[in-house]
Amino acid sequence: MNQKLQEIIQSSQGGTFITVNGYKNKNDEVSNYLVHADANYESVHQRSLKKLDELEADKKLVINITRNAWFDDTGTEHIRTAKGRTRKVVTSVVQSGEANLIMAIDKVRKGIVAPTNKGPEYVGSNSAFQKEDECYLHNVLVEKKDVITPGNYPITCKSEVSALVDWIKKQLPIGDYRTFKLNSTNCQSVSASGELFEF
């Protein structure tokens, strides 16, 4: 990996914007990203917890959920396929105080205060590093995303609680916290502070 790329990323200070162009994810979606460099993980956590508290306290909160689920001949819902089950689209309206919403908020909160994944990529400071022919861009918050080529996303079936967890995370700063794995097969260019690296 060209040393220039690592230098561009590591020289970016907190609040600096980094542009990642032509980034292709595992589902073949190609997008351009504008991200904040060196996002402090603890700050992201604290702001996410504050927003979560606000959502939990909002007595007027109403969430419209659309998801997929499997149903057997008796009409019982499942999240996994099996013989005799039919996949259907399920829509629901969830309001503040409902049991599934309370459970979803609790799951998100536990994920923030006691994350399963821990390591240098989660504890702040510019941490671009090389691994073979790849460079990792850690600790960034997505400011803007423009999809150039839509991806081929598989249809997944989820319970209402899981769908609510996904919705809640999208409302929190932590939902925009990202790590990018950059290489010549999944990225066109990276730029910051007037410097440009093209793969």
CA-closest candidate to residue 173, choices 58, 65, 49, 57? 49
Element spanning 65, H or E: strand 62-71
CB 6 within 8 A of CB 129: yes
Q: Examine the pLDDT at 182 and tell me if it is beyond 90.
A: no
pLDDT digits (tens, 9 = 90+) for 23-73: 999 999 999 999 987 677 788 889 999 999 999 999 999 999 999 999 999
Q: Which amino acid is at 46?
A: Q
Report CA Rg, the chain: 20
- Domain span at residue 81? 3-198
Q: CA 44 from chain center: how many Å?
A: 13
pLDDT digits over 98-119, tens only? 999 999 999 999 998 876 655 4
Task: Write down the pLDDT at residue 15.
Answer: 64
What are φ and ψ of residue 23, in 5° steps?
Answer: -85, 125
Burial 62-81 (b: 16+ CB within 10 A, else e): ebebebebbbeeeeeeeeee
Q: pTM of the prediction? A: 0.81
Q: Which amino acid is at 53?
A: D
Please classify residue 99 by burial: count the beta carbons closer than 10 Å to its beta carbon, then call 0-12 exposed, 13-18 middle and 19+ buried. Answer: exposed
Please count the structural domains in the chain.
Answer: 1
Q: Using CA atoms in the order 81, 85, 89, 93, what is the torsion angle rounded to 10 degrees?
A: -90
